[in-house]
């Protein structure tokens, strides 16, 4: 008898699915905030899924985690205090702590169970969460940011898609609070979805950030397991422009995607993406 095959499909749009063969369902839970699953896939290794959407996989996590971390951290000349909003898998914290000048990296995650499952089943990604420079705070990022002023050099918004508790992380009032939460020369970056499928979202976020921050830039990267593969990041900065960075001064750190030559190239946008943020 032929062996039964198991497949997981993320419904990326009402008309499109992304399907992977799975060898094992390692863990599932219904948390207070979302459905959580850790799957063993043939193609990408272990995969974290929240509410049916792929968050990260062992094979391609470096693309996303390096892109969202090193662009802001190499744009700020001296990032000492950094916060991650969301990011419960710990991948962004791991990348932040590759920067020696960072004294403290805070993880502000609403769902404790994402952190616990990642620590247990995705140690390659969550490995830095117990570092003495890392501090985990379990709370809503919207509340945290609005209650703390003038505190961080860099804030990285590593959120789920804009559904459930993450809806407010894509709203104007949140970006205003992020501005206040940053020091006077601070900057922030947020993951802002696919330029193929989420054009209205990118447009709205870009214009909201532009109305608050003196410098607003969009950059792109390639993440195989995210919808369309092409992914956008929106950066808002009070003082430092990623396009003015002297790339000859960027330190070489251990990365697989990011490098100094890419730093500015990531901001060169295809024409259809330039049109979105016009």
The residue count for the chain? 278
Q: How far is the CB of 176 from ligand SAM (least distance, A)?
A: 16
Which of residues 56 and 234 has its CB atom nearest to ligand SAM in the complex?
56
DSSP-derived letter for residue 242 is G
Residue 56 interacts with ligand SAM (CB under 6 A): yes or no: yes
- Of 41, 57, 126, 191, which one interacts with ligand SAM (CB under 6 A)? 191
DSSP-derived letter for residue 122 is -
CA dihedral 64, 237, 80, 267 (to 10 degrees): 40
Find out whether 109 is annotated in a ligand binding site: yes
> Quick one: the chain helix, strand, coil %, rounded to 5?
30, 35, 35
Which of residues 119 and 239 has its CB atom nearest to ligand SAM in the complex?
119
User: Cα(51)–Cα(56) distance, rounded to whole angstroms?
Assistant: 13
Residue with tokens 């959407």: 53
Please indicate whether residue 158 is annotated as part of the active site: yes
Q: Please say whether the beta carbons of 88 and 55 come within 8 A.
A: no
- Of 41, 55, 75, 232, which one interacts with ligand SAM (CB under 6 A)? 55
- Site stretch for ligand SAM (CB under 6 A), options 17-25, 136-144, 210-218, 242-250: 136-144
Sequence-ordered list of residues with C-beta below 8 angstroms from that of 123, at least 6 positions apart, any chain: none
Q: How far is the CB of 226 from ligand SAM (least distance, A)?
A: 7
Q: Please say whether the beta carbons of 203 and 37 come within 8 A.
A: no
Find out whether 274 is annotated in a ligand binding site: no
Which of residues 224 and 260 has its CB atom nearest to ligand SAM in the complex?
224
Residue 36 interacts with ligand SAM (CB under 6 A): yes or no: no
Residues that are catalytic: 158
Instruction: Give residues in contact with ligand SAM (CB under 6 A).
Output: 33, 50, 55-56, 64, 85-89, 108-111, 114, 140-142, 158-160, 165-166, 169, 191
């Amino acid at each position: 008898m032929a062996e039964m095959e198991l497949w997981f499909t993320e419904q990326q749009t009402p008309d499109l699915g992304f399907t992977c063969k799975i060898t094992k369902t390692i863990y599932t839970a219904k948390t207070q905030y979302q459905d959580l699953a850790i799957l063993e896939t043939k193609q990408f290794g272990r995969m974290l899924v929240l509410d049916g959407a792929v968050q990260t996989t062992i094979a391609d996590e470096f693309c996303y985690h390096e892109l969202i971390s090193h662009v802001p951290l190499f744009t700020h000349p001296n990032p000492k205090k950094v916060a991650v909003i969301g990011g419960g898998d710990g991948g962004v914290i791991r990348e932040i702590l590759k920067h020696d000048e960072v004294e403290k990296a805070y993880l502000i995650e609403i769902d404790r169970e994402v952190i616990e499952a990642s620590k247990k089943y995705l140690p390659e990604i969550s490995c830095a969460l117990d570092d003495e420079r890392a501090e985990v705070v379990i709370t809503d990022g919207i509340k945290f940011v609005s209650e703390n002023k003038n505190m961080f050099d860099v804030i990285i918004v590593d959120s789920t898609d804009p559904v459930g508790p993450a809806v407010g992380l894509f709203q104007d009032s949140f970006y205003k609070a992020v501005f206040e939460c940053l020091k006077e020369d601070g900057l922030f970056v947020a993951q802002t979805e696919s330029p193929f499928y989420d054009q209205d979202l990118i447009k709205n976020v870009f214009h909201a950030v532009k109305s608050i921050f003196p410098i607003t830039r969009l950059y792109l990267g390639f993440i195989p397991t995210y919808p369309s593969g092409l992914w956008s990041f929106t950066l808002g900065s009070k003082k430092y422009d990623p396009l003015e960075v002297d790339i000859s001064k960027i330190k070489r750190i251990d990365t697989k995607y990011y490098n100094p030559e890419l730093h500015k190239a990531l901001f060169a946008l295809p024409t259809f993406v330039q049109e979105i943020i016009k």
